[in-house]
Chains A and B, each alone.
Chain A
Amino acid sequence: MKLPLSWLTSMVDLDLSTDELTELMSLRGLEVEEVTTPGLGTSGVRTARVLHHEPHPDADKLRFVKVTGEGGEGEIELVCGASNFEVGDIVAHATVGGHVPGVTGPDGTRGLTMAAREIRGVVSNGMIASARELELGEDHDGILVLPPDTPLGVELTELLPVGEPVVEIAVQADRGDHLGVLGVARDLAAILDTGWRAPIVPDVVAAPTLPVTLDTDGCASFHTWVIEDVEVVDSPPWVRQRLAQCGIRSIDVVVDVTNLVMLELGQPLHAFDLDQLHGPSLTVRAARAGERLTTLDDTERTLVEGDLVIEDADRLVSLAGVMGGADTEVTRATRRVLIEAAVWDPAAIRATSRRLGLVSEASKRYERAVDPQGAARAAARAAGLIAQLAGGRLIGTDAVVRDPAPAWAVRPPVELDAARTAAFLALKLDADAQAALLRRAGCEVEVAGDTLAVQPPSWRRDLARPADLAEEIARLHGYEHVPTTLPRLDVTGGLTPAQRAEREARSIAVAAGFHEAVTRPFVGDEALVGLVPTAGRVRLANPLAQDASAMRPSLVEGLIQAVRRNHGQGRPGVGLVELGRLFRPVDDPLATVLDAVVDGDWRWRSPAGDDLPIQPRVLALAAGGVQLGHGWLDARRRWDVHDLLATIDEVVRRLAPHEQGAALERVAVTREGFHPYRTVSLRRDGHEIGLVGQLHPTVCEARDLPQATVVAELLLEPLLAATPDTGHPPVPAEPLVKHPAMTIDVALAADDGVPHTALEAAARAGAGDLLDALWTFDVYRGAQLGEGQRSVAMRLRLQDPDRQLTDADAEVVIDAVAAEAERIGAVLRR
Chain B
Amino acid sequence: MSDIDRITQDALEAIAAAGTLDELDEVRVRVTGKRSELAGIQASMRDLDPEGRKALGQQLNAFRGTFQAAFDARHEALAAAALDAQLESERLDLTAPPRRLPPGRPHLLTQVEQEMLDVFVGMGYRVAEGPEAESGTYNFDLLNIEADHPARQEMDTIYVDGFDDVVLRTHTSPVQARVMTTQAPPIAVVCPGRTYRADAADATHSPVFSQVEGLVVAEGITMADLRGTLLEFSRRMFGADREIRLRPSFFPFTEPSAEVDVSFEGAGGNHGWLEILGSGMVDPNVLAFCGIDPDRYTGFAFGIGIERVAMLRHQVRDIRDLFDADARFLARF
Contact = CB atoms under 8 A, between A and B. Distances in A.
Given A516-B110, A612-B134, A496 B245 contact: no
A476 to B, nearest CB: 9
B198 A515 contact: no
Interface string A483-503: 111111111111110010001
A262 B151 CA distance: 23
Given A347-B148, A487-B225, A613-B133, A512 B100 contact: no
A149 to B, nearest CB: 44
A677 interface: no
Contact of B224 (A475, A484, A585): A484
A578 to B, nearest CB: 8
A275 B137 CA distance: 51
Interface stretch (A387-395, A533-541, A711-719): A533-541
Contact of A628 (B100, B258, B259): B100
Contacts of A347: 148
Interface string A473-485: 0110001101111
Interface string A774-809: 000000000000000000000000000000000000
A518 B160 CA distance: 22
Contacts of A520: 201, 206-208, 323
Interface string B103-142: 1111101100010010011111111001111110110001
Interface residues of A, number: 102
B121 A606 contact: no
A512 B186 contact: no
Interface size class of B (residues with CB under 8 A): 35 or more
Contacts of B153: 354
A182 B153 CA distance: 26
Given A471-B257, A495-B127, A539 B194 contact: no
Interface string A511-526: 1111111111110000
Interface in B246-270: 246-250, 252, 255-259
A322 to B, nearest CB: 14
Given A485-B224, A487-B221, A544-B200, A513 B103 contact: yes
A496 B149 CA distance: 37
B105 A31 contact: no
B133 A607 contact: no
B158 A542 contact: yes
Contact of A515 (B104, B151, B210, B225): B104
B104 A516 contact: yes
Contacts of B125: 491, 493
A515 B331 contact: yes
B50 interface: no
Contacts of A540: 158-161, 168
Interface string A441-468: 0000000000000000000000001111
Contacts of A615: 131-133
A627 B102 CA distance: 8
B322 interface: yes
A666 interface: no
Nearest to B219: A490
Nearest to A562: B325
Interface string A402-427: 00000000000000000000011111
Interface string B69-111: 0000000000000000000000000001101101111110110
A186 interface: no
Interface stretch (A5-13, A21-29, A294-302, A690-698): A21-29
Interface in A599-636: 604-608, 610, 612-613, 615, 627-629, 631-634
A648 interface: no
Contacts of B248: 27-29, 471, 474-475, 479
A605 B181 CA distance: 13
Contacts of B194: 521, 580-581
Interface in B202-245: 206-208, 210, 216, 218, 220-225, 227-229, 231-232, 245
Contacts of A522: 207-208
Contacts of B246: 479-480, 482
Interface in A162-194: 172-175
A541 B160 contact: yes
B25 interface: no
A350 B148 contact: yes
Contacts of B65: none
A441 to B, nearest CB: 13
A654 B241 CA distance: 41
Given A479-B245, A486-B232, A612-B134, A173 B326 contact: no
Contacts of A368: 150
B149 to A, nearest CB: 7
A749 B245 CA distance: 74
A633 B106 CA distance: 25
Nearest to B250: A172
Contacts of A516: 104-107, 110, 330
Contacts of B99: 628, 631, 633-634
Given A175-B250, A354-B148, A491 B106 contact: no
A577 interface: yes
A585 B133 CA distance: 11
Interface in A545-580: 548, 551, 559, 562, 565-566, 569, 571, 574-577, 580
Contacts of B43: none
A543 B159 CA distance: 8
Contact of A499 (B96, B127, B224, B252): B127
B14 interface: no
Contacts of B281: 424, 467, 470
Nearest to A174: B250
A26 B330 CA distance: 37
| Interface core residue of B99, B208, B222 (most chain A CB under 10 Å) | B222
A575 B148 CA distance: 46
A29 B249 CA distance: 6
Contact of A491 (B107, B188, B255): B188
B245 A27 contact: yes
Given A424-B281, A486-B232, A519-B325, A506 B106 contact: yes
Nearest to B104: A515
Contacts of B323: 518-520
B186 A490 contact: yes
Q: Which of A466, A565, A574, A607 has the most CB of B within 10 A?
A: A607
A510 interface: yes
Contacts of B158: 540-544
21 contacts: A29-B249, A173-B151, A173-B154, A174-B151, A350-B149, A354-B153, A426-B225, A486-B228, A488-B220, A493-B126, A512-B102, A515-B327, A516-B105, A517-B107, A519-B323, A566-B326, A571-B328, A581-B132, A585-B162, A607-B137, A629-B100
Interface of A: 26-29, 31, 172-175, 347, 350-351, 354, 367-368, 423-427, 465-468, 470-471, 474-475, 479-480, 482-496, 499, 503, 506-507, 509-522, 538-544, 548, 551, 559, 562, 565-566, 569, 571, 574-577, 580-581, 583, 585, 604-608, 610, 612-613, 615, 627-629, 631-634
Listed from nearest, the 5 A-B pairs whose CB atoms lie closest are A29-B248, A426-B224, A606-B135, A471-B256, A562-B325
Given A28-B248, A631-B99, 18 more contacts: A347-B148, A474-B223, A487-B228, A493-B122, A494-B126, A495-B117, A506-B110, A511-B103, A515-B327, A515-B330, A518-B210, A522-B207, A540-B160, A551-B168, A565-B326, A583-B133, A613-B133, A628-B102
